[in-house]
Chain A
Amino acid sequence: MAHILPSAPSSLLGRFMPRSNLALARLGVVLALLALILFGALRYDGFVGLFNILSFLKFNSMFALVALGMAFVIMTGGIDLSVGAAAALASVAAAICSTYGSAAGILGGLSAGLAVGLINGVVITGLRIQPFIATLATMLAANGSALLLAGNQSVSIATDNNFMAIGLNNFLGLPIPVWIVVFAYFGGWLTLERLPVGRRILAIGDGEATAKLMGLHVERTLLGVYLFSGLMAGTAGVILASSSFAGQPTEGIGWELIAIASVVVGGTLLTGGVGSVGATLAGALLLGLVFTVINFENGKGWISLSSSWQPVIRGLFLLAVVVLQAKLAGTRRNSP
């Protein structure tokens, strides 16, 4: 791959060809998603039905949001284990605040998520503690706070205002959570691809020391990224509370790892420096779709795959992706 004076491939074909192995892997994820959809559409009745699509999207909206926040954190070379617990805490906070009105409920949930993100950012950049340990601790703290706030049980949301509309209503034919995902991912894409800060986030993931040499504000950017991850977890929490009519202090366990898996499947390198918003969405949907396909397959009654196969198949997807990534990285390393 070493070419000192490569002729720029500006042919039409070149424009649409993936520019790197990782881009190829990302394209692979999108193709796999499309293939699975096609498979489902051909095999099952009602698979591409409006009801199924909407409920699938709605159900997976929370995971998609958390994965988006996680993707940004991972692009900087960090990790955020606290997202699941932060979402649970946010759902409880939203449920409690919802008695003061729907705006209060939303605000309460988002602030809870932001607070967790703020603590993460401060501990990581201020105390210089590794993101893994720092967010492990905030995960415990958020989990504990959620249980304390909720008194160890789920907290009903107010039903006398339109807080529950977030989870129930449609807008222009799409459930509101799906709109939120659309906006969040559009914002994420805009930030990453079209704003200078997006390029800087990736540059930090490429190497913090280098980024500093290039004159970037590393600490400030990292703080922002953890705040964003907290905000996404908070949003997921609000949706959780609204759509399940309750704040769920014990939900969210393991979300962080599912989110990491989605991000990795989406071709974002865990070492940082490379990432894609769109492929993260594809990764999250792909992992979610596995579950739906299993349900439909069981519905056909030929075989009976219990839902416990879902994590197994998710794990296999993750395995396939990371091994593929490692092999691609290997060929890159070996090429002169």
Chain B
Amino acid sequence: MSALDTAPSSTNGGPVERRLNARQATLRFLGRYGTLLVFASLLLFNVVFTPNFVAWNTLTLNLTQVATVVIVAMGMTLVIATGGIDLSVGSVMAIAGALAPLIFLDRIVPIPSHTLGVALALTLPLLAAALCGWFNGFLITRYRIQPIVATLVLFIAGRGIAQTFTNSELQTFNEPSFQFIGKGFVWGVPVQVILMALVVLATHYLVRRTALGRQILAVGGNEKAARLSGIDAAGVKRLIYVISGVLAGIAGMVVVAINNASDAARVGTLMELDAIAAVAVGGTLLSGGRANVLGTVLGAFVLQLVRTTLLANGVPDAAALVVKAALIIAAVWLQSRAERI
């Protein structure tokens, strides 16, 4: 069974070099590049049929709309790579989004300096979000509660906590220096798009280049082997949930900044599903051990583009949901089929 004696020419040959028949080859190709193919054809379709599609405005509009999903989905990709899931991201967004304006509006304690207020408003909510993530990780590693249940706790309670902060009232504000993260531009590029790009690059770098990234994949891929190799699997998991929490916090603040208002009841609703969908369509299997960071970005873009395309062509938003559903099933089915070849 020494497969690889023959192998230099074939980089992805199995233990025994097998000839795939045409059907299997197609399946494998679609499993790998299907999402990219859909993305490309959607782009092409829009360029040809959608009026005013090729425009800077269209691009920035779409990117702004997808930015928060991508930011959250990066955390979700890491969580899923460890074999877990984080349902609490939407609620954590609400918490961070509720806290930020309270801080610079001096609702909690009067803060003498305005600059300090804004600075705190940009950092303390992230701390709270990190705490939420730590709590998730604590439940999962200390009590061995399944991630889906453990994060369900904060999913339910988190939004309530955010609402008690704000007494369930809409917090409107006008604070340009804070709103910069949602409304500002740098060289004509929206700040949240830059944030998104930074988060994506950082996550990509984390997975590809850092020791932690390697450990994440090892823990998700084979926890026993990881432990026997001296990796602190519980520590890695806790850290990942903290990261997921912080990223959700960032997304929550961006959303609030865009809206000039924080509505704890609405910030980040259904975000967990959008993020999970992006990860699934992007080719990261939910079973763990893999993190296709750029795939997730592509997945989020495809789901966004489906919506734009349908909207631009007069199909209601609701129909986009149905298409999205079909897309998720098709993508996951193709990938798992391609896997079994």
Contact = CB atoms under 8 A, between A and B. Distances in A.
B110 interface: no
B149 A327 contact: no
B160 A137 contact: no
Interface stretch (B115-123, B177-185, B294-302, B328-336): B328-336
Interface-centre pick from B264, B280, B329 (highest chain A CB count, 10 A): B329
Interface stretch (A22-30, A235-243, A258-266): A258-266
Interface residues of B, number: 48
A127 B336 CA distance: 9
A271 B322 contact: no
Contacts of B280: 133, 136
A136 B158 CA distance: 21
Interface in B298-341: 316-326, 328-329, 332-333, 336
A327 B321 contact: no
Interface in A284-336: 306-316, 318-319, 322-323, 326-327, 329-330
Chain A at the B interface: mostly helix, strand, loop or mixed? helix
Chain B at the A interface: mostly helix, strand, loop or mixed? helix
Contacts of B152: 257, 260-261, 264, 318
Contacts of B241: none
B94 to A, nearest CB: 11
A3 B326 CA distance: 52
A72 B317 CA distance: 33
Nearest to A305: B164
Contacts of A312: 157, 160-161, 164
A152 interface: yes
A185 B83 CA distance: 35
Interface residues of A, number: 49
A144 B319 contact: yes
A147 interface: yes
Contacts of A141: 321-322, 325-326
Interface in A134-193: 134, 136-141, 143-148, 152
A130 B286 contact: yes
A257 B164 CA distance: 21
A308 B163 contact: yes
A307 B286 CA distance: 35
A147 B158 contact: no
Contacts of A323: 139, 143, 145
A44 interface: no
A123 interface: yes
B149 A139 contact: no
A23 to B, nearest CB: 20
A132 B273 CA distance: 11
A129 B330 CA distance: 10
Contact of A148 (B168, B318, B326): B318
Interface in A185-218: none
8 contacts: A130-B332, A139-B325, A144-B318, A144-B322, A257-B156, A322-B149, A322-B150, A322-B153
